[in-house]
Amino acid sequence: MHSDNFDLSAYFRRINYGGQAAADSATLHAIMRHQLFSIPFENLDVQAGKVVSMVPEEITGKLLHQRRGGYCYELNGLFAMALAALGITYRFVAARPMFYPARRPKTHMAVVAEVDGRQWLCDLGFGSYGIRAPVALDMLDTDIMQDFDTFRLSRDARGEYLLQAKVEGEWANQYAFDLSHQEWIDFAPANYLNSTHPDAIFVQKLLVIQHQPEGRAILLGDTLKIITANRVEKQQLTTDNIAHVLENRFALSVLQ
């Protein structure tokens, strides 16, 4: 993944990272956490009737210089640019969301990085129950604690991985993937579907998620939900409230 206008120092400033910059697992963990807590998941462009751009330079401009967020292709694409700049080997993988009542195509993008002799699932763009740090692919069938969330990774006889999250005390399937290498262009049809199809949640409702170490803030439609380890707060918003929340809680520009 390459963008002519990507600059690693600008990326570090955007994600508020001042640590080491090495091709090792410590840096991989650190920058994923910093990006997760600095750049929100959001679908403002889709809500404005636009097809999300897959041009790398436009993603860089949007997320780094316009201080916007994005959804999986943008967030994981930006992360892949950082990995490339650090010299960390990675691949894009196509994942099938598994929480719908009917089987869905592989519309989600994740990243598998290879560093320090291990493969790590990295994902900055799955939303509410996305992982909060890299997950080693050899950590199978065990509880993986990340902040106040718990995840589990399993693998079937065909070699396909399944990521689960514990939701209200029960294991809930999140997505499935294999290690088939995907090119950036392979996600263009899924991006168009998510930007335009009337059944896509991104088309139906405003969705903004900002993760923090202590929890996450979720704006879905006109409902703001603040989730921490011990409580969930909900607030119904008016149109004027939404604009205020976007600018002040999520640090995002109002829809044009």
- pLDDT, residue 168, reads 86
- pLDDT, residue 254, reads 65
- Which domains, ranges and CATH numbers included, belong to the chain? 8-197 (3.30.2140.20)
| Amino acid, res. 233 | E
Percent of the chain surpassing pLDDT 90: 87
Report which of residues 240 and 151 the model is more confident about: 151
Lowest mean pLDDT among 53-57, 218-222, 241-245: 241-245
Residue 127: pLDDT band by 50, 70, 90 thresholds?
A: confident
Other Cβ atoms closer than 10 A to 89: 12
At 100-124, the pLDDT tens digits run: 777 889 999 999 999 999 999 999 9
Whether 256 shows a pLDDT value over 50: the answer reads no
- pLDDT, residue 103, reads 84
Report which of residues 135 and 168 the model is more confident about: 135
Q: Which residues contact 183 (CB under 8 A, 6 or more apart)?
A: 92
Residue 128: pLDDT band by 50, 70, 90 thresholds?
A: confident
At 13-65, the pLDDT tens digits run: 999 999 999 999 999 999 999 999 999 999 999 999 999 999 999 999 999 99
